[in-house]
């Protein structure tokens, strides 16, 4: 079965099948071409036939243990409940991302030595969420639930698992990163990850994957521009299942992509 799914797809689907998590989502990125899930859906129906499959233009592909309802009234807060995200009492829609908040990843390290897979070891993210306040105890409980299922002999990768761990990303207020960039202070590996994550959230993959040079004034200027746009993002008031379908949000989406493309060209022409 493993040849029909990428390892991260199989592990997530397996966790849903075993009830360790209620659902799994492959999201669509705003401004990006929608992926073709035809082959993946076909394989899920064949190898995980007990699961329910939902394909939504805004939320993407959702695979659920039980029947759920997704329509134009479905909110991000409700989607968080569908996916089994633990909360701190503050719904996702009320998180102030310009203030102190936390990101949590649960990762699995797979080792493929002496196998026909080209890479020896891969680090896979199987769960990611954010909260306004610290909820590490709830994430640890979730990781233990995942570990129990993934280390079972029923999981085809159980012998390849070398580690299951939690990574906590503490994100400071936006001014913290802006001030560091403006004052040319040292950008740590952790800072770089958070800044890249800001960019990934609402901009293009090209920009989020670009290798920024923090000694390059043009790169710093572009980063400050992106973070300020993120902080004062006027499109937030339109976010929802129908985002990008009406003339107003389509125009916002197109203008943002145009801006990203121009900034990317500027960056590419000033590598050093």
Specify the pLDDT at position 31: 45
The mean pLDDT value for 67-94 works out to: 88
List residues bridging with 168 in a β-sheet: 104
Specify the pLDDT at position 108: 97
Mean pLDDT of the chain: 88
Phi, psi for 105 (deg, rounded to 5): -120, 140
Q: pLDDT for 166-203, tens place per residue?
A: 999 999 988 999 999 999 999 999 999 899 988 987 78
The mean pLDDT value for 203-212 works out to: 88
What sections of the chain are H helices per DSSP? 7-17, 38-47, 76-82, 136-150, 174-182, 189-202, 205-209, 217-231, 247-268
In this structure, of 2-6, 44-48, 183-187, 198-202, the range with the lowest mean pLDDT score is 2-6
DSSP 33: P
Distance between CA atoms of residues 51 and 215, nearest Å:
50
Distance between CA atoms of residues 101 and 233, nearest Å:
18
Q: pLDDT for 102-139, tens place per residue?
A: 999 999 999 987 666 666 789 999 999 999 999 999 99
Specify the pLDDT at position 116: 60
Distance between CA atoms of residues 175 and 178, nearest Å:
5
Specify the pLDDT at position 30: 47
Specify the pLDDT at position 215: 93
- What CA dihedral angle connects 71, 76, 77 and 82, to 10 degrees? 60
Contact 154, 111 (CB under 8 A): no
Contact 143, 125 (CB under 8 A): no
pTM above 0.85, yes or no: no
Asked if the model's pLDDT at residue 220 lies above 70, the reply is: yes
For the chain, what are the domain ranges?
A: 2-171, 174-268
Specify the pLDDT at position 248: 81
Give the percent of the chain with pLDDT over 70: 90
């Amino acid at each position: 079965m493993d040849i029909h799914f990428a390892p991260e797809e199989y592990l997530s689907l397996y966790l849903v099948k075993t009830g360790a998590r209620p659902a799994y989502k492959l999201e669509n990125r705003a401004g990006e071409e929608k992926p073709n899930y035809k082959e993946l859906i076909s394989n899920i129906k064949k190898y995980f036939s007990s699961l329910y499959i939902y394909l939504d233009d805004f939320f993407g592909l959702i695979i659920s243990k039980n029947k759920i309802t997704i329509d134009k009234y479905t909110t991000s807060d409700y989607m968080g409940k569908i996916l089994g995200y633990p909360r701190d009492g503050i719904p996702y829609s009320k998180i102030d991302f310009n203030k102190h908040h936390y990101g949590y990843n649960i990762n699995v390290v797979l080792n493929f030595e002496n196998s026909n897979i080209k890479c020896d070891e891969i680090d896979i993210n199987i769960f990611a969420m954010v909260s306004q306040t610290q909820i590490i105890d709830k994430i640890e409980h979730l990781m233990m639930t995942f570990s129990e299922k993934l280390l079972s002999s029923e999981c085809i990768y159980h012998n390849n698992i070398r580690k299951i761990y939690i990574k906590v990303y503490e994100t400071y207020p936006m001014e913290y990163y802006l001030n560091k960039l403006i004052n040319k202070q040292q950008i740590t590996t952790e800072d770089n990850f958070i800044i890249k994550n800001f960019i990934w959230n609402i901009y293009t993959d090209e920009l989020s994957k670009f290798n920024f040079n923090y000694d390059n004034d043009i790169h710093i200027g572009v980063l400050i521009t992106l973070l300020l746009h993120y902080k004062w993002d006027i499109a937030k008031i339109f976010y929802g299942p129908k985002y990008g379908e009406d003339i107003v949000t389509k125009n916002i989406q197109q203008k943002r992509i145009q801006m990203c493309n121009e900034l990317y060209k500027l960056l590419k022409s000033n590598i050093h």
